[in-house]
Structure 1
Amino acid sequence: MKHIIVFRLSAMGDVAMTVPVITALVQQFEDVEVTVVSRPFFRPFFEHLPRVHFFAVDVQGRHKGFLGLWRLYRELSKLKPDGFADFHNVLRSKIVRIFFCLSGIRTAYTDKGRAEKKALTRAENKVFKPLKTMVQRHCDTLSAFGFQVQLNNIILPQPKVLSAKIQNITGVKIKKWIGIAPFAQYKTKVYPEDLMREVIRKLALDDHYQLFLLGGGTEETELLNQMQQKLDNVIVVAGKLTLEEEMALISNFDLMLSMDSGNAHIAAMLGVKVLTLWGHTHPYAGFLPFNQSFDNTLTADRTRYPKIPTSVYGNKQVEGYEEVMRTISTDAVVEKIKDLSK
């Protein structure tokens, strides 16, 4: 098989988790080409990879609805793929997958382990054990085509040379650069604002660190400006860079502090060490960032809150669990950052 289509839409972190898998594929099978089908915003994730092409889906326009998916299939079939790898495995991708299957093209899909995740997140009779990561599940999907992809020897990107625009914001790197991404899609995954302010203040007292605060949108930018607390070695990056420029900056970080969110997976795919904080969700669900160990996580106290994880994505608020992340002390976060960034 020479040409594989990889289909993955969804959120930023989900798409970022496909990057190490596709990186390993093209590095270990030099005669393979890949076409990634995803949302236009994520194109920069794949631009550094050889023999990887990008097909932007217009889910609100020409590819909307059943007829739009038929149109998408027809457009993709003109690329003459040998296989269709469905990394998404939802209704939209299943429809396109069926079209390819009926046309005689080999297909495979990612088993998301929904039954195992349900057992992990249910309140009663919880089966609390680490599940296979999504990155490994995508590798399993490729194995259906005969590609035994190995993740332990891939070459990750080197830090990017920063443009003059970025350096006007960051200055020259003479300290340890720590990125801090304090937001997530759901509040159940966000470290309390007052505690995050304290983490930033404590880190800023150490002149060995330069801190960069990341986020998106007007509301998050305003909050980051407040968290900056007029500290000289804290810079708010939100709203100042494109995604591609922000990725170049992240690639130069010595460490990223993130919630269970997309920024953790972006940093990981760029080869940056990541410390993640977990509230209602848990790294056992399979979303531990690529190439990071469980030692690079701080989780809420399950002795006090035994129903954790309450959901896979953090979209379920359990009564009485509103303050679970306060069981992660600011001192624990700061000490972990200092340890990991040595």
Structure 2
Amino acid sequence: MKLLVIRFSALGDVAMTIPVIYSVANRYPDLNITVLSKQFVSPLFTNCPKNVTFRGIDLSQYKGINGLYRLFRELKKEQFDAVADLHDVLRSMILRIFFKLSGTQTAHIDKGRAEKKALTRINHKIIKPLRTSFEHYADVFKALGYPVEIKFDSIYKGKGDAELFKSIANLDKKNHWIGFAPFAAHKGKVLPIETVKLLIDKLAANPKNQIFLFGGGEKEKIQLEILAGDSEQVTAVAGKLKMNGELALMSYLDVLVSMDSANMHLASLVGTPVISVWGATHPYAGFMGWNQKQENAVQIDLPCRPCSIFGNKPCHRKDYACLYKIQTDTILQKINHIIES
């Protein structure tokens, strides 16, 4: 049997498919799975099960209905028995319709939009934990006849290859390796820069701490270099390693502090504990990193929270109290607890 799995973006969402896809692959070794996504996420699948193949594409080469039909015809040659759409956006929807019309079994994710709207609306919120993205992904495979219990620890058997990050970190000098990913795509998920600076200063005050700053894109790279300054204890990782190097380095961290962002999910893929910081968003929406503990989530209890699933809505209060009220000492206590334990 051949199964096509579609999930184009974003990085964190693709990362969240991996515990489920790998669990399905291990549960059904005779099932050949092809994962269709953007090429840049390929390092996530470097150590995938033998019956999983990654196919990265440049979506700009398949624009519009005609482009997607051309992609469908290319994929159709591989004679897939079923298609799992883990994205359910217009592009993936059109692709799966082409497959369905050709007689191929399809199933797609139910994102639970109504429940998420009830969780984030301004008035009469229904505050309760929703089903996780992992569960929603597993539902798609179940609908295709492949029910699975998600069992996943890491993309590595042990740790990643230290050779991939030796240019910026030396295992021979390892004391406490602490990662910090202070940025996210939207303002509602980012700590004030003053809080970020203060946390880095407090961490660097302990000579046993080595701090690695993670981020992506040219703008974040510049900001992280400024935050690192000339301190020997603080290293801006952005732009210095490829994704496989960052993943390998993350596997050696004692802990990562991350916003509700892709880095939380990358660290989760390598079995690293994450202290996750939540502002406008909330763990109840189902996007907590795989195997991460609720007790390690940092958040302020406000009647307006959560107000957004993705953190992209303007603050109703105009002051982003959900982020500005977070104290560095709260985060430090959680870091120390993980390191000491």
Q: Shorter-chain TM-score category?
A: over 0.9
The CA deviation string for residues 228-249 of structure 1, in whole angstroms up to 9 with x for no partner, is 2433211111111111211111
Equivalent positions of 1:192-341 (< 5 A) are: 192-302=192-302, 306-324=303-321, 325-341=323-339
Secondary structure at 2:162 match in 1: coil
> Aligned partner of 2:41: which letter?
F
Gaps of 5+ in 1: none
The CA deviation string for residues 70-97 of structure 1, in whole angstroms up to 9 with x for no partner, is 1111111111111100000111111111
> Aligned partner of 1:73: which letter?
F
- 1:300 positional shift: 2.5
Contact 1:8–1:15 (Cα < 8 Å) also in 2: yes
- 1:208 positional shift: 2.8
Question: Which residue does the alignment assign to 1:113?
Answer: 112
Gaps of 5+ in 2: none
Contact 2:153–2:270 (Cα < 8 Å) also in 1: no
The CA deviation string for residues 110-165 of structure 1, in whole angstroms up to 9 with x for no partner, is 110000000001001111111011011101111112222112465652211211x6
- 1:51 positional shift: 1.8
Partners of 1:16 and 1:152 in 2: CA distance = 15
Contact 2:154–2:269 (Cα < 8 Å) also in 1: no
Secondary structure at 2:298 match in 1: strand
Partners of 2:25 and 2:68 in 1: CA distance = 27
> Aligned partner of 1:206: which letter?
N
- 1:11 positional shift: 1.1
Q: Which moved more, 1:82-91 or 1:141-150?
A: 141-150
Contact 2:251–2:272 (Cα < 8 Å) also in 1: yes
TM-score by length of 1: 0.94
Partners of 2:296 and 2:310 in 1: CA distance = 19
Question: Which residue does the alignment assign to 2:161?
Answer: 161
TM-score by length of 2: 0.95
Partners of 2:76 and 2:131 in 1: CA distance = 32
Aligned Cα RMSD in Å?
Answer: 1.5
- 1:168 positional shift: 2.4
Contact 1:301–1:328 (Cα < 8 Å) also in 2: no
Partners of 1:231 and 1:293 in 2: CA distance = 31
Question: Which residue does the alignment assign to 1:58?
Answer: 58
Identity %, equivalent residues: 42
Secondary structure at 1:36 match in 2: strand
Contact 1:24–1:154 (Cα < 8 Å) also in 2: no
- 1:176 positional shift: 2.1
> Aligned partner of 2:65: which letter?
F
Question: Which residue does the alignment assign to 1:132?
Answer: 131
> Aligned partner of 1:138: which letter?
Y
Question: Which residue does the alignment assign to 1:187?
Answer: 187
Secondary structure at 1:169 match in 2: coil
Residues paired across the two proteins, number: 336
Partners of 2:131 and 2:16 in 1: CA distance = 13
